[in-house]
Amino acid sequence: MTDASERPLSVGILCYPTFGGSGVVAVELAQGLAQRGHTVHLFSYAPPARHDPFDERVHLHEVAVSSYPLFRYPPYDLALTSRVAEVAEDVGLDLIHAHYAIPHAMAALAVKDMLRPRRVPVVTTLHGTDITVVGQDPSYTRVTRYALARSDRVTCVSEYLAEETRRVFGIDRKLDIVPNFVDGERFHPIRPSPLRGCFARGGESVLMHVSNFRPVKQTPLVVDAFAQVAAERPATLVLVGDGPDRAACEARVQTLGLRSHVRFLGAQSDVENLLPAADLFLLPSRYESFGLAALEAMACGAVPLATKAGGLPEVIEDGVTGRLVPPEDLPDMGRYALDLLAEPEQLAVMAAAARSAAVTRFAREPVVARYEAIYRDVLASGSRPRPETAD
Ligand code: GMT
């Protein structure tokens, strides 16, 4: 067998295609690995939001799930497993990297078993809700624990998530912390931002929020904070994304008489063009395992105002690269925003510090290299016994 310490690798990446951080990280990692000369096969049930269909170095395999009268719930997991196994055999995948424990890590582990005696290790990256929500649902606890135990390596996007994983599952296996990253060339300040002129024709302050409007994001609090701001100074709120709480936000905006000051843009794939238009980026989530949206805002020079919870303090340095609001103060988030907007020079210093931290502490290349090092280590350790895994 060829030594895997130098040669280009053939990597299978499994991810969700939705507008969520885990899919974004998986696709951008795929692109970064391809740029380093590796071949990447991406598996998902639809083209992921950030996948570039013209990028010939990342091969997308859309997994189709056929329906059959007997299937009340079409078995996507099995279709995925079958497709990954087929490609792994055809192209000789060296390893599989699953983003999100369920069902991706389980599918990857099944493929690993199917391909024996050839060894195709599985690296699993936990992103947050796969542990904090899904993994705690009794229906999924055991499979999540199994996936964590059997993966050759498990990585977490923050210290917070690693601690949560240990706490929730009572496991003591090694968990690598590999933070998320941002492409500082794609996400950067644009001064003057042409879109700012569209959002704030009269020179108003621009506040922005980007999410999938799931309850964990507490998006209605963004509207409340904005109402506090708009009561004291000219301002525009730009809400990007779509999801369960969007209707509640629209109703709140209507009730508060803010319709002409709030723009609902729906899901957008080019947030790098929108974020530079913002002065502040609001993220009042109940928690975030990391908060990739805040990191992307920072890279664009939009100062994040986020909850002091979960992994957000690992991304935002309170008072230096943004502000962290204690959960009990969230109803008064607008006051924090007003304080920041009242000092434009200090806000500019904070925006510059945010950009600088984003592109140094969370630069893309070192993180992609870190994943590559993990792959090579896992491949090299094939013959060594790994006491923490059951394999
Ligand atoms: O937050 C979401 O709704 C999406 C979710 C996902 O799995 O795609 O995001 C999680 O993973 C991101 C990438 O690692 C993190 O930046 C987010 O903080 C995390 N979301 C939560 O923990 C709520």
pLDDT tens, position by position, 205-251? 999 999 999 999 999 999 999 999 999 999 999 999 999 999 999 99
Q: What's the CATH number for 10-181+364-381?
A: 3.40.50.2000
Share of the chain above pLDDT 90, in %: 80
Give the mean pLDDT of 45-67. Answer: 91
CA atoms of 19 and 4, how far apart (whole Å): 34
Nearest CA to ligand 1 atom 4: 20
pLDDT tier for residue 346 given thresholds of 50, 70 and 90: very high
Residue 382 above 60 pLDDT? yes
Distance CA 144, CA 363 (A): 30
Residue 385 pLDDT > 70 = no
What residues line ligand 1, using a CB cutoff of 6 Å?
A: 20-23, 25, 100, 127-129, 157, 180, 212, 214, 216, 288-292
Of 198, 258, 251, nearest in space to 228 by CA:
258
The protein residue whose alpha carbon is closest to atom 20 in ligand 1 is: 288
State residue 4's pLDDT score: 60
Query: Looking at the chain, how many residues does it have?
Result: 391
Pocket of ligand 1, candidates 13, 22, 210: which has the most ligand atoms within 8 Å of its Cβ, to mutate? 22
Asked if the model's pLDDT at residue 154 lies above 80, the reply is yes
Which pLDDT does position 139 carry in this prediction? 85
Residue 91 CA, ligand 1 centroid: distance in Å:
31
Count of alpha carbons within 13 Å of 157, Cβ hemisphere only?
Answer: 29
Q: Do domains 10-181+364-381 and 196-361 have the same CATH topology?
A: yes
Looking at residue 287, its pLDDT comes to: 94
Report the top-level CATH class of 196-361: alpha beta
Dist. CA 346–CA 339, nearest whole Å: 10
Q: What are phi and psi of 214, to 5 degrees?
A: -80, 155
* Closest to 180 (Cα-Cα) out of 249, 126, 106, 105: 126
Per the CB < 8 A criterion, the answer to whether 276 and 189 are in contact is: yes
- pLDDT score of 390 more than 60: no
Given this model, what pLDDT does residue 384 score? 52
**In the prediction, which pLDDT does 388 show?**
47
User: Does 3 have pLDDT greater than 70?
Assistant: no
pLDDT digits (tens, 9 = 90+) for 178-213: 999 999 999 999 988 888 988 988 889 999 999 999
Atom of ligand 1 nearest to the CA of 285: 23
| More reliable by pLDDT, 66 or 257 | 257
Domain range list for the chain: 10-181+364-381, 196-361
Q: How many angstroms does the Cα of residue 164 sit away from the middle of ligand 1?
A: 14
- 5 has pLDDT over 80: no
| Predicted local confidence at residue 1, as pLDDT | 45
Kindly report the average pLDDT of the chain as a whole number. Answer: 93
Residue nearest to atom 3 of ligand 1 (CA): 20
Of 44, 100, 129, the one to substitute when testing ligand 1's pocket (max ligand atoms within 8 A of C-beta) is: 129
Region 55-61: mean pLDDT is 92
